[in-house]
Amino acid sequence: MTARVGVVTFPGSLDDGDAARAVRIAGAEPVRLWHGDPQLYGVDAVVLPGGFSYGDYLRCGAIARFAPVMETIVDAARGGMPLLGICNGFQILCEAHLLPGALTRNQHLHFRNRDQILRVESVDTAWTNAFQPGQEVLIPVKNGEGCYVADPATLDQLEAEGRVVARYLGGNPNGSQRDIGAITNQAGNVVGIMPHPEHAVEALTGPSLDGLGFFTSVLKHLVGAPA
């Protein structure tokens, strides 16, 4: 049976279309979810896409966290459902306390939009099991508030538990502490990533096809997971 992967649209989401397309190219059925509707329609996993939910008012992701759909998603993720937050989605995951730390204004204050090399460091998550440990991938980064910060004890804990999923190589685009570009929760089902794997799934539009691995990973994970 084809896996069903939900993609949430918030007011101000930009990359929900690309995320749904990436899910389809990876071989799953994308299911569009609406921020105001708490129903998940039986999806097996969820992607929170990039963009500017609720206009980034107050703080990026601060208001999206209270969307009706988020309550259901947070409960499902605590129960083990795979959940990927990309860019604004990563910010929402931090605001929802599913991931530690916070994402702040890029240190140099400039919006950064470029193709970025990442080193995948944790391949034990639901979203990165298709990669080799240490594999370098090229995917676009585009953010204004992507500087990952957390207190030193949290950073040490993330490192000690192998929860730094990916680090920036060849230049840190936003000043993130310890070059962190992606992290996961303790269970490995929730991943937040600042660059955009959904923009690197087709030769026509992406700098590589490396982003596809994040979406094929979750399919692999779902096949192995108990129903």
Partner 1 sequence: MPRVVVDVMLKPEILDPQGQAVANALPRLGVNDVASVRIGRRIEIDFTGEPDLDRAREIADKLLANPVIEDFTVRLVETDETVDAHS
Site for partner 1 in 68-127 (CB under 8 A): 94-95, 100-102, 104-109
Task: Determine if 144 is a binding residue for partner 1 (CB under 8 A).
Answer: no
Which 3-state string (H, E, C) describes 175-190?
CCHHHEEEEECCCCCE
Quote the least distance from Cβ 145 to partner 1, whole Å.
Answer: 10
Q: Compute how many residues bind partner 1; rule: CB under 8 A.
A: 19
Quote the least distance from Cβ 7 to partner 1, whole Å.
Answer: 25
Q: Based on CB atoms, which residue is closest to partner 1, 105 or 167?
A: 105
Task: Determine if 169 is a binding residue for partner 1 (CB under 8 A).
Answer: no
Residues with catalytic function: 87, 196, 198
Quote the least distance from Cβ 109 to partner 1, whole Å.
Answer: 5
**Long-range pairs of 26-29 with CB within 8 A, sequence gap ≥ 24:** 26/201, 26/212, 26/215, 26/216, 26/218, 26/219, 27/2, 27/216, 27/219, 28/2, 28/3, 28/4, 28/215, 28/218, 28/219, 29/2, 29/3, 29/4, 29/5
Residues that bind partner 1 (CB under 8 A): 58-59, 62-63, 66, 94-95, 100-102, 104-109, 149-150, 175
